[in-house]
Chains A and B, each alone.
Chain A
Amino acid sequence: MDPTEFLRLIPPKWNGGKRGFRDLSGMVAPERKRRTLLQFLSDHFYDVKFLREFMLQKQMQKLYLDNRSFTNIQDRYGPDIAGAFFILQHGGSVKFRDREWIRSDEYKRFSAEVLKFQAVPVEAIDASGCVINYYGLDNLLPLKELRSLSLQRCPHVDDWCLSRLYPLSDSLQELLLAGCPHISERGLACLHHLQNLQRLDISDLPAVEYPGLTQILVEEMLPNCEVVGTDWAQGLRLGPEERPQNTASPIPAKPTARGSR
């Protein structure tokens, strides 16, 4: 029996006209510009659908496996070395205090001299472009002397990750978040824990709806910090056909304001 036949939770106005089996199954159906053979098969055969779900789960599991912590290294050499190992394995670079930057090459290999810096704290981390997610940050949070953290263009760093950065508040002075696709103003709001921050880069965040207004609000939130982002006046100059970045009007960021109910 077709399970979607008994579906009657769609309000009648959406059900106007003839709708096939495919359309009933998704409330938030994307516009499919090009239907591939696999999508077609998956709609008509349960086995193919199961296979596609399985492949999706496998993809997500791979991200978790990449973000595991090195507990044995942590036990033997301490949290700094473990954090450095983690970053270097993902293709980033690490700077220990009073030493040069250590990078890994394009095959994610690095020299074992890292193990010699046991008593030296990690001062700066450049994790640009690495596939770190919320669980991978476990490796970075014990680094109590971290001064600079760069998470530019990391595809999986989102608001949840930013809410996790507060243990670094004593030492963190520079935070670079440019180009992360999943960071929005809601995550930036919890950066107020980082009171020692001196430089914050929030340019080019595609998920932030009003970059100019967000920049002003973040500057107010962190008075001692130099916030680098978009030029807030830039939006005003672009005329009425562009999205208005008018700070005086009390438009809520998301047009789901309950006033419309």
Chain B
Amino acid sequence: MLRRFLRLGLGRSLSIREVGTHSGYSILDWDGKVSEFKKKIQSIMPGEPGDLLCDTRHLPPEHSDVVIVGGGVLGLSVAFWLKKLAKRRDAIRVLVVERDHMYSKASTGLSVGGIRQQFSLPQNVQLSLFSIDFLRNINEYLAVVDTPPLDLQFNPSGYLLLATEKGAAILETNVKMQRQEGAKISLMSPEQLQKKFPWMNMEGVALASYGLENEGWFDPWSLLQGLRRKVQSMGVLFCQGEVTRFLTSSNSMRNSSGEEVILRRIHEVHVKMDNSLEYQPVECAIVINAAGAWSGQVAELAGIGKGPPGTLQGTKLPVEPRKRFVYLWHCPQGPGLETPLVTDTNGVYFRREGLGNNYVGGRSPTEEEEPDPADLEVDHDFFQNKVWPHLAQRVPVFEALKVRSAWAGYYDYNTFDQNGVVGPHPLVVNMYFATGFSGHGLQHAPGVGRAVAEMLLEGRFQTIDMSPFLFSRFYLEEKVLEQNII
């Protein structure tokens, strides 16, 4: 009441004055003025965006020590180990650039999630052993204060690899090597197998290797979330954008035999934002290529492979996306709780999923049957013609099954020898690779991350010797073949 009287009284006198004033302040709009004043003070405070017209909060920083291209499990693993092995806290600024924030096409989320030590290369076995140790102690490595512990849903059911007469000798040598490295694998004859797994048909099987512990499958999505949470708490910066360009400078040097070699160095990474032409040049010292199925394209941006074929400049990174299908089916009288991940002699694999008689499986197609990797559409005929007959032959109960769903994902397939590429490029001196694992990247991610971090910080591989996985083998034509690719 009093206020209205005051307003009437003061209003008339103020309105005569207002005609000549500029600011137009009136004591009457007090609340609005106070909030505006607060906003102005907040914008002057440090840490707040000063001018909201050119808001740069979504852009990556202008300088970063390490830029990791690709935010999947391999990229995050490298970021984690870089921060963990650095001598001082916040000594290295790491930026992870990921183009797809929903991870809709990333191989990590679409993976079946298996981990095994049954490889034919000792380094792969060592990587798996390191990774299973990491997964077992994941709540010490990835512990963040005030967050609940991570549950990876690990099923320690093991892998069962079947072999025919022809492959039995190789299987035995592999198992011997795996046991020497410390994996717990047992060899089983068809009679022992039949006793243990009565639902299996032993036709054509001469020998089988069964992982007794430290093998199985887990949920890759929770590993990814756990890593993301931890690296954020360690201070790694994230950016959602696409790497479109590298600005490099070259240096011409002579090697010991007198030939001229052009060495290049990446100085800037151009990160383009989603749905816009806006990009931010990030000055960096090191670039890590962990882009998975698209690593080949990223390598081409850096000029790897641009040169006469047959030379080191002309050697491309032979990693390309390959589409793989995974099917989920239900079989009412199917194998029980003890079912391991069974890999048949012809490449068909399946495992139990949950408690409701559901199974997940698939098969790697041959070179002629390779599907077109342009999209992630599922080919159901592939299951009907190429997977189901073999499943039904190995496990007779699978005659009567019903496919519930299916999905497709990419392998970052190394066309040269199906093994990973780790370490620096000989010519582009500050690009490091952590890609090309052709279907076993997830299970090797902790070990590979540590190897790359050690290479960066110490200059050499310390825990596991990954020198067979360097890029130079593509030029020297030394294949490091992995026989057990599923």
Contacts of A192 in B (CB 8 A): 337-338
Cα A52 to Cα B154 with chains together (Å): 29
Q: Which of A32, A184, A261 is the one whose CB lies under 8 Å from B407?
A: A261
Contacts of B47 in A (CB 8 A): 2
Contacts of B355 in A (CB 8 A): 185, 210, 213-214, 217, 252-253
Contacts of B59 in A (CB 8 A): 6
Q: Which of A6, A10, A189, A214 is the one whose CB lies under 8 Å from B338?
A: A189
Cα A172 to Cα B136 with chains together (Å): 25
Given the interface pairs A220-B336, A261-B405, the reply to whether A189 lies near B60 with Cβ below 8 Å is no
**Docked complex: A208-237 residues within 8 A CB-CB of B:** 210, 213-214, 217-218, 220-221
A163 contacts B by Cβ under 8 Å: yes
B155 adjacent to A186 (CB under 8 Å): yes
B147 adjacent to A26 (CB under 8 Å): yes
Task: Indicate with 1 or 0, residue by residue over B320-356, a CB within 8 angstroms of chain A CB atoms.
Answer: 0000001010101000111000000000000011111
Contacts of B60 in A (CB 8 A): 6
**Docked complex: B20-70 residues within 8 A CB-CB of A:** 47, 57-61
Shortest distance between the CB of B170 and any CB in chain A (Å): 26
Cα A118 to Cα B352 with chains together (Å): 45
B213 adjacent to A166 (CB under 8 Å): yes
Contacts of A160 in B (CB 8 A): 136, 154, 156
Cα A60 to Cα B140 with chains together (Å): 7
Shortest distance between the CB of A11 and any CB in chain B (Å): 6
Q: Which of A57, A193, A220, A259 is the one whose CB lies under 8 Å from B404?
A: A259
Given the interface pairs A221-B338, A250-B330, the reply to whether A186 lies near B232 with Cβ below 8 Å is no
B441 contacts A by Cβ under 8 Å: no
Cα A257 to Cα B146 with chains together (Å): 29
Q: Which of B101, B145, B158 is the one whose CB lies under 8 Å from A56?
A: B145
A220 adjacent to B405 (CB under 8 Å): no
A6 adjacent to B404 (CB under 8 Å): no
A5 contacts B by Cβ under 8 Å: yes
Given the interface pairs A210-B355, A250-B330, the reply to whether A9 lies near B101 with Cβ below 8 Å is yes
Q: Which of B71, B101, B236, B353 is the one whose CB lies under 8 Å from A252?
A: B353
B59, B354, B357 — which one has the most chain A CB atoms within 10 A of its CB?
B354
Q: Which of A6, A57, A210 is the one whose CB lies under 8 Å from B61?
A: A6
Q: Which of A7, A166, A186 is the one whose CB lies under 8 Å from B153?
A: A186
Task: Indicate with 1 or 0, residue by residue over A49-84, a CB within 8 angstroms of chain B CB atoms.
Answer: 110110011001000000000000000000000000
A258 contacts B by Cβ under 8 Å: yes
**Docked complex: B198-217 residues within 8 A CB-CB of A:** 212-214, 216
**Docked complex: A133-176 residues within 8 A CB-CB of B:** 134, 159-160, 162-164, 166
- Tell me the interface secondary structure of chain B in the complex: loop
A29 contacts B by Cβ under 8 Å: yes
B392 contacts A by Cβ under 8 Å: no
**Docked complex: B143-162 residues within 8 A CB-CB of A:** 143-148, 153-158
**Which of the candidate stretches B7-15, B114-122, B237-245, B454-462 sits at the interface with the other chain?**
B237-245
Shortest distance between the CB of A256 and any CB in chain B (Å): 7
A249 contacts B by Cβ under 8 Å: yes
Q: Which of A8, A53, A250, A252 is the one whose CB lies under 8 Å from B145?
A: A53
A8 adjacent to B229 (CB under 8 Å): no
B57 adjacent to A5 (CB under 8 Å): yes
A250 adjacent to B158 (CB under 8 Å): no
B19 contacts A by Cβ under 8 Å: no
Interface size on A, residues (CB 8 A): 61
A119 contacts B by Cβ under 8 Å: no
Contacts of A37 in B (CB 8 A): none
Question: What's the count of A-B pairs with C-beta under 8 Å?
Answer: 153
| CB closest residue in chain A, given B101 | A9
B337 adjacent to A8 (CB under 8 Å): no
Contacts of B145 in A (CB 8 A): 42, 49, 52-53, 56
B239 adjacent to A8 (CB under 8 Å): yes
B237 adjacent to A253 (CB under 8 Å): no
B239 adjacent to A6 (CB under 8 Å): yes
| CB closest residue in chain A, given B148 | A30
A1 contacts B by Cβ under 8 Å: yes
Cα A213 to Cα B404 with chains together (Å): 21
B232 adjacent to A258 (CB under 8 Å): no
A189 adjacent to B136 (CB under 8 Å): no
A112 contacts B by Cβ under 8 Å: no
A19 contacts B by Cβ under 8 Å: no
Contacts of A250 in B (CB 8 A): 330, 332, 356-358
Cα A181 to Cα B404 with chains together (Å): 33
Shortest distance between the CB of A53 and any CB in chain B (Å): 6
A34 contacts B by Cβ under 8 Å: no
Task: Indicate with 1 or 0, residue by residue over A240-255, a CB within 8 angstroms of chain B CB atoms.
Answer: 0000000001111110
B148 adjacent to A187 (CB under 8 Å): no
Cα A26 to Cα B337 with chains together (Å): 35
Cα A252 to Cα B450 with chains together (Å): 35
Contacts of B98 in A (CB 8 A): 9
B272 contacts A by Cβ under 8 Å: no
| CB closest residue in chain A, given B233 | A25
**Docked complex: B140-187 residues within 8 A CB-CB of A:** 140, 143-148, 153-158
Cα A27 to Cα B142 with chains together (Å): 14
B468 contacts A by Cβ under 8 Å: no
Cα A190 to Cα B196 with chains together (Å): 13
A159 adjacent to B154 (CB under 8 Å): yes
A1 adjacent to B136 (CB under 8 Å): no
| CB closest residue in chain A, given B98 | A9
| CB closest residue in chain B, given A5 | B57
- A sample of 6 more A-B contacts (CB under 8 A), given A189-B155, A190-B156, A257-B328, is A32-B146, A60-B140, A134-B136, A159-B155, A163-B216, A164-B213
Q: List 20 A-B contacts (CB under 8 A).
A: A6-B61, A8-B239, A9-B238, A26-B229, A28-B147, A28-B225, A30-B147, A42-B145, A49-B145, A53-B145, A56-B143, A159-B156, A188-B337, A189-B337, A190-B156, A190-B158, A251-B356, A252-B354, A254-B153, A257-B328
